[in-house]
Amino acid sequence: MNICLFDQAEIDKILDSRDERAVHLNRVLHKKTGDTFSAGIIGGKAGTATITNTIEVKNPRTGKTEYSYEFKFEPAGDGKPLLPLVMVIGFPRPIQLKRLLRDIAGLGAVEVHLTGTELGEKSYMQSTLVERGAAYKMLLDGTVQAASTHVPELFLHSALTDCLETLEKRYGKNAERVTLDNIKKECSLEQWIEKLKSNGWKPDMKNPVIAAIGSERGWTDKEREKLKGNGFAMCSMGERVLRTETAATVSASIILSSFGFLC
């Protein structure tokens, strides 16, 4: 953990010895009374927590001494704001989804839209890993890795049509849209970005980049037409066929770096 995150209701309470954050403070960081650690409020301030009291607790199962912690939190900053990138992802395999959500949250995308696709495996959408609580935990893990306090917002859609309708309601025409596609590409992702930059355009929270990545088998022609009809440019990142998780992470990194957000 690069930061311990708490919701507002937890910040003034004792951190129980069984909590994974307390376990980390004890077994990994070896924190005692008087020590400090990086902490933050989910969706809010980041700062420093000072341990004011360490309470010994016997683990009834192992007999080992563990610790609960009382601490005082001092906010110091806004906790690394999210960045103007919205990711649309065709449901991948659950094991890929776990890594994907962590990496996208680590990079700081503001929203993740998981959508069913025509060629995607329908059973993936029923996996327990995509239940809102489990998926949120993956996003939270990526946020902790990035030492941030702001977690991307997660949306689940049964089909691409539903996803595009939601994006239209949220952003209207106030976003630049791109999808990765090796079959009917119009240009490379880098060329598309350079064209936007040459016109003086730069994303912000009201006008983000929306980047769509298909599921493992890619988009159908019908889905390509839907995307083009909703203003998505068809771009590629070369001739190699990438896993969904790889394509999502690489494209997000290229977009954010090209617009100066990873400097």
Q: What is the pLDDT of residues 10-50, one digit of tens each?
A: 998 999 999 999 999 999 999 999 999 999 999 999 999 99
* Alpha carbons 45 and 54: distance in angstroms, whole number: 24
Each domain of the chain, given as residue ranges in start order, spans 4-77, 83-258
85 contacts 106 by C-beta, under 8 angstroms:
no
Q: What is the reported pLDDT for 132?
A: 60
Q: What is the pLDDT of residues 207-262, one digit of tens each?
A: 999 999 998 888 999 999 999 999 999 999 988 888 899 999 999 999 999 999 99
Q: Which CATH class is domain 4-77?
A: mainly beta
Q: What is the reported pLDDT for 135?
A: 87
* Alpha carbons 209 and 211: distance in angstroms, whole number: 6
pTM of the predicted model as reported, rounded to 2 decimal places: 0.92
Output the CA–CA distances (angstroms, integers) from residue 129 to 68, 94, 160, 244, in the order listed: 30, 6, 20, 16
Q: Is residue 121 predicted with pLDDT exceeding 80?
A: no
Superfamily of domain 83-258: SPOUT methyltransferase, trefoil knot domain (3.40.1280.10)
